[in-house]
Chain A
Amino acid sequence: MNRPLPSACATPATIRERGQHEVFCGLTSIIWLHRKVQDAFFLVVGSRTCAHLIQSAAGVMIFAEPRFATAIMEERDLAGMADMHDELDQVVARLLERRPDIRMLVLVGSCPSEVIKFDLVRAASRLNAQHAPRHRVIAYSGSGIETTFTQGEDNFLAALVEDQKLQTTDRSAAKLVVAGSLADVVEDQFSRIFSELGLPDVVFLPGRHATDGFAIGTETHYVLAQPYLGATAAALESCGAKRIDAIFPLGGEGTTAWLWAVASAFGVARAHFDKVVAQPRKRARQAIAHYRPTLEGSRIFLFPDSQLEPSLARFLHSELGAEIVEVGSPYLHREHVAGELALLPPGVSISEGQDVDIQIDRCRAAEPDLIVCGLGLANPFEAEGRTTKWSIEFAFTPIQGYEQAGDLAELFARPLIRSRLLAGRAAFPEAAQ
């Protein structure tokens, strides 16, 4: 199982590995989704491990009353399947009684529920019949066997789109759908730019309320704000929407390219576009420039985590002058990241999937200046005297758009600055006194 599978069909050459994957499962995306979509409640149908995972990953962020919970399967549930649907109905009834303010209940499938083939989609439609219109119930899978980390969001958004098909709405189809959850502040910034560009009817998916509703038709264009949305893209296309091909809005140049792809699809004149983005573009360049001296020439190794890695590597290379050693991604949706990969210099190793021990060997041998990796690896690498940037932060921090370009650069620069600061103290103990 530890043998890398060389693959000839992918360009550039990709290392494809099958071994231990040191990644989160899709359930983890509930942590940001439950804050983003404010009238939704996420109920995982799974085991104690699932419950433990979410609360450990959410750490101190958990509130005494979070908008997620786990229906923990027990021995007797596994004995007979018919029983389980009744059990779930009872759990849902208890939950909705406690939280009558919930408008959308999201059943989230896990590894155990999928292995025993517990049909949550059917359960959702049955519960919908019971609780609609007060509470809408949908289902998606966030299991580790099916999804890696951010792919949980992908399945959720795809389920939202599918659900929307079933709803009758008198709205006219949106002109533009921006898919992928963004920090509220980023969403507002993009909204302002879109309206200055003269683009009305923009729908952000997910919206801040699951019950807001939207309509998609053959005149709808959609653009991905996140690179991990394969299933969502397919769902949107099945409604007739057309994809606007773009790289992702990370960094000043990434954001410009992304916005221009949208603007040109709607026939906005280049001169007008340049006028609208001139000032924010200048601000992004200025903010990034603060960190360029720290990162220029640094050799960076990215472990797979969120599928954001190709975009981050492109930003690091083209706007900060860093040298990329290896870009790992849990999954490569080639069509969606083609633009990003094309902007990476030749010779960069791209890896899909993982065999963590072998990848660690490669990383140690390469002696990079900065390792972008998950929290299970970060401290052990630091203890070896290497510098790391923990990657989960990219999913939890506003990093897209012009105004965040400097912050994104700072996320990479901070550990390097810090290790220099602390190294200085150790070298000159008298200075600390």
Chain B
Amino acid sequence: MKLSMWTYEGPPHVGAMRIAASMTGVHYVLHAPQGDTYADLLFTMIERRQSRPPVTYTTFQARDLSGSTADIFKAACRDAVARFQPEALLVGASCTAELLQDDPAGLARTLDVPVPVVPLELPSYQKKEHWGAAETFYRLVRAFAGQVARPKDIAANTCNILGPTSLGFRCGDDVTEIMRLLTNEGLDVRVVAPLGASPADLARLPEAAFNIVLYPEIADTAARWLKKQHGMPFVSTVPIGVGATEAFLAEVRDLAGIRPKMAAGEGSSGRDRLTWYARSVDSNYLTNKRVFIFGDATHAIAAARIASEELGFRVCGLGTYMREFARDVREAAEKYGVEPLVSDDHLEIEAAIVAARPELVLGTQMERHIAKRLRVPCAVISAPVHVQDFPARYSPQMGFEGANVIFDNWVHPLMMGLEEHLLQMFRDDFEFNDGASASHLHSHVQAESIDLEETSQPETADERQVWTIDAERELKKVPFFVRGKARRNTELFAESKGIRPITVETLYDAKAHFAR
């Protein structure tokens, strides 16, 4: 049993629902107890979908357990097919139905329905949402692209886009942005799946020369299978960030045998604003800001690259909740010299953020809560997200426009440069002081919160005396967003030199020692 205050991912059947809801012509019959229909409102409310997700639940109750829940399931399948007339039927169980062992897969074989039935085996007590989505997509691709023969003549510039789903982070706009870039390069995108695709579209997947995997957590399994089955190569560089987008386009051009329209080196000029914005002197103060990054593997790794190579931040923490992609995150973390954090225990992530003392947190909806508690600026870069991250305006993360969106979103929560300078010079202003947040973000009413500095305070009175009163007072003159770091560095320095107590001198000695 695992104590969980927050879960980063839902159960695997929610992943399956996301695939069904992404596609057209697919209906999902889910053997589940009454109440599991809550998942509908992820789609109707968070994503503001205009129709009910294509899911029929058996919603059995306690009194049904004495009868035949298997019959309820079969009746639900027949009714769903009659009412919605889908091209394909997905059948599966939720966690409670898994315990009943009615075996939807076995029952599905005995169903006399006139459409193909794809049974799902999603182990709810082992796996989670993204695994469920990937498995469902793979099963569907296998079912519909498995029997078809690959045509002999395939134009080299044809490709499919795999991975975007309903309830994915900015998936819809990412697809628009990437389609535009690819079309501009002369590529012919045949099928986008699962978002917007029908089972018939899946059967056309082998007609393209290669696949593009935009979201590996959803489409990696299917792309690997298509490679094995039909010999289709795939691109798995995720085009989030300017550098990554250029690498992605180069890789795609390579596979498609297309020459670049522009000579190397001038490829990006004018196509994104991030490059110039980050170079302009106004962004000078962003240099080496400490940033903690957590999210799904794809977005976390991409964010770390943008943060360190394109915005000049320093990555002080990197992690993911996806064990399936732990290796990729470990590799990336090594590059930035930080300890990788692979965990779905939100208390552990909170502890890591407190320990890393970042000046900016890039994370999910949950890190937004942690950052709020710790009063650290924060931007959301990955699912799970809430309704505000399904915005009305065009806001991709991928491609060149995605980089523009990222520049604005990540810099926005930080205090502006001049504000930061003035705070350092004049600490006692009555309205523009240490405790106040960035002036464009909050009212002057100070929120009750836990200061990063507070959490690092020594526990016993004896340890407290390590700092002289003067040194404590001097420490308060360090701007609040780096004060926690300064305190820890000074204590580390004093300990390594055997200095006790810490004086004003020690504080400045440490500052010189650690100067960045």
Contact = CB atoms under 8 A, between A and B. Distances in A.
Contacts, number: 191
A23 B324 CA distance: 34
A348 interface: no
Contact of A24 (B38, B65, B100): B38
Interface string A49-92: 10111011101101111100111111101100000100110110
A72 B51 CA distance: 32
Given A53-B35, A111-B35, A376-B40, A74 B5 contact: no
B7 A379 contact: no
* Range of interface residues on A (Cβ < 8 Å): 35 or more
A19 to B, nearest CB: 8
7 contacts: A19-B59, A21-B61, A22-B37, A48-B95, A56-B38, A145-B65, A375-B41
Nearest to A152: B35
Nearest to B48: A379
B449 to A, nearest CB: 10
Interface string B50-72: 11100011111110110000001
Nearest to A87: B1
A125 B387 CA distance: 41
Given A21-B37, A72-B4, A49 B124 contact: yes
B511 interface: no
A49 B3 contact: no
B123 interface: yes
A116 B62 contact: no
A21 B34 contact: yes
A94 B3 contact: yes
A64 B370 contact: yes
A383 interface: yes
Contacts of A26: 35
Given A73-B125, A87-B1, A115-B65, A23 B35 contact: yes
B461 interface: no
Contacts of B10: 48-49, 52, 56
B77 to A, nearest CB: 11
A95 B57 CA distance: 34
Contact of A49 (B48, B57, B61, B94): B94
Given A144-B35, A379-B48, A84 B1 contact: yes
A51 B1 contact: no
B61 A145 contact: yes
B323 to A, nearest CB: 14
Contact of A66 (B5, B33, B125): B5
B62 A53 contact: no
B96 interface: yes
Contact of A60 (B1, B3, B65, B386): B386
Given A51-B6, A380-B50, A383-B50, 4 more contacts: A71-B2, A78-B125, A144-B61, A383-B51
A116 B1 CA distance: 14
Nearest to A376: B40
A230 to B, nearest CB: 15
B5 A379 contact: no
Interface in B23-52: 33-42, 44-45, 48-52
Contacts of A2: 75, 79
B410 to A, nearest CB: 22
A257 interface: no
Interface string B289-329: 00000000000000000000000000000000000000000
A64 B7 CA distance: 12
Contacts of B6: 51, 55, 62
B34 A375 contact: no
Contacts of A114: 62
Interface string A24-65: 111110000000000000000101110111011101101111
B273 interface: no
B148 to A, nearest CB: 34
Contacts of B124: 47-49
Given A2-B79, A379-B50, A20 B65 contact: no
Interface string A1-31: 1100000000000000001111111111000
Given A53-B35, A145-B61, A47 B11 contact: yes
A45 B95 CA distance: 13
B372 interface: yes
A382 B48 CA distance: 11
Interface in B375-397: 386-387
Interface of B: 1-7, 9-11, 13-14, 33-42, 44-45, 48-52, 56-62, 64-65, 72, 75-76, 79, 83, 94-96, 99-100, 123-126, 128, 350, 369-370, 372-373, 386-387
A22 to B, nearest CB: 5
Contacts of B1: 45, 71-74, 77, 84, 87-88, 90-91
A90 B3 CA distance: 9
A25 B33 contact: yes
A1 B64 CA distance: 11
B52, B94, B100, B386, most chain A CB atoms within 10 A? B52
A148 interface: yes
Nearest to B60: A145
Contacts of A66: 5
A144 B33 contact: yes
A377 interface: yes
A353 to B, nearest CB: 9
B208 to A, nearest CB: 34
Contacts of B373: 64-65
A404 B14 CA distance: 38
A69 B48 CA distance: 27
B61 to A, nearest CB: 5
A69 B4 contact: yes
B37 A357 contact: no
Smallest CB-CB A-B distances: 6 pairs = A25-B35, A144-B35, A376-B40, A383-B50, A87-B1, A111-B96
Interface in A222-278: none
A391 interface: no
Interface in A308-324: none
A91 B49 contact: no
Contact of B38 (A57, A94, A146, A377): A57
A112 B99 contact: yes
